[in-house]
């Protein structure tokens, strides 16, 4: 038998709730669908530039359908989706999660978005910091943030947390009638 030197990396689960200094992060469930749709609706113009699924999210029912998919993925340990709330106000201020996990490569990728009124308060930075801590504790070696090249706020989160810019992905997404570049950032468990 050929030994490739690959160590088996077991699947893991993440906590359903994580508390930080400014936010409480909760597993996304149907209990959040209405409030999440309201966040998307009031921030639609702000989010649309970089989240290409926004135009297809026209009702709370659309959010429910996606929550079902995310719930199945959570149970299968394929992805972990959250919503997060300001500790000060108790209001939902954002959502996101660990969208892509490669167990064999011990790698995970983040995604996140904020209510437009919540920007500039450090919520996204704290969200990523809390999740990366959990991922590294579970044995993930490499965390990734990929964002639109024009998404200055998302790139700033990665830089603030010490992620390394690995490069620019040319024409990586096709949206709104044209191609768009992306940036890819990474952080290793020992950094």
Residue pLDDT, tens place only, 12-58? 889 999 999 999 999 999 999 999 999 999 999 999 999 989 999 99
pLDDT higher than 80, residue 8: no
What per-residue confidence (pLDDT) applies to 4?
Answer: 46
What per-residue confidence (pLDDT) applies to 103?
Answer: 87
Cα separation, 67 vs 28, whole angstroms: 7
Q: List beta partners, residue 107.
A: 102, 142
What DSSP state is assigned to residue 154? H
* Residue 2 binned pLDDT confidence (cut-offs 50, 70, 90): very low
pTM attached to this predicted model: 0.92
What's the topology of domain 17-188? Aminopeptidase (3.40.630)
Q: List beta partners, residue 109.
A: 100, 144
The answer to whether the CB of 158 falls within 8 A of the CB of 143 is no
Note the pLDDT tens digit of each residue in 125-152.
999 999 999 999 999 999 999 999 999 9
What per-residue confidence (pLDDT) applies to 7?
Answer: 54
Cα separation, 146 vs 174, whole angstroms: 15
pLDDT higher than 60, residue 3: no
Cα separation, 9 vs 191, whole angstroms: 21
- Chain-centre distance of CA 137, in angstroms? 18
Q: CA-CA-CA-CA torsion for 28, 32, 34, 38, nearest 10 degrees?
A: -80
Strand (E) or helix (H) holding 80: strand 80-86
- List the one residue out of 41, 33, 28, 16 whose CA is nearest residue 115: 41
Cα separation, 57 vs 48, whole angstroms: 11
Reading the block at residue 44, the tokens are 């639609």
Note the pLDDT tens digit of each residue in 77-100.
899 999 999 999 999 999 999 989
């Amino acid at each position: 038998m050929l030994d490739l030197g690959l160590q088996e990396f077991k699947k893991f689960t993440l906590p359903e709730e994580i508390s930080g200094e400014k936010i409480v992060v909760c597993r996304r469930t149907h209990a959040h669908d209405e409030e999440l749709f309201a966040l998307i609706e009031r921030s639609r113009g702000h989010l649309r530039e970089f989240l290409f699924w926004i135009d297809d999210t026209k009702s709370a029912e659309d959010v429910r359908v996606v929550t079902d998919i995310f719930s199945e993925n959570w149970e299968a340990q394929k992805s972990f989706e959250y919503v997060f709330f300001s500790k000060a106000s108790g209001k939902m201020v954002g959502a996101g999660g660990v969208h892509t996990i490669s167990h064999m490569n011990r790698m995970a990728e983040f995604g996140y978005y904020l209510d437009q009124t919540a920007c500039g308060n450090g919520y996204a930075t704290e969200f990523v910091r809390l999740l990366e801590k959990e991922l590294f504790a579970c044995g993930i070696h490499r965390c990734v943030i990929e964002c639109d090249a024009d998404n200055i706020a998302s790139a700033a989160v990665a830089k603030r947390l010490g992620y390394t810019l690995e490069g620019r992905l040319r024409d990586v997404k096709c949206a709104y009638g044209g191609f768009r570049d992306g940036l890819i950032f990474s952080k290793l468990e020992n950094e």
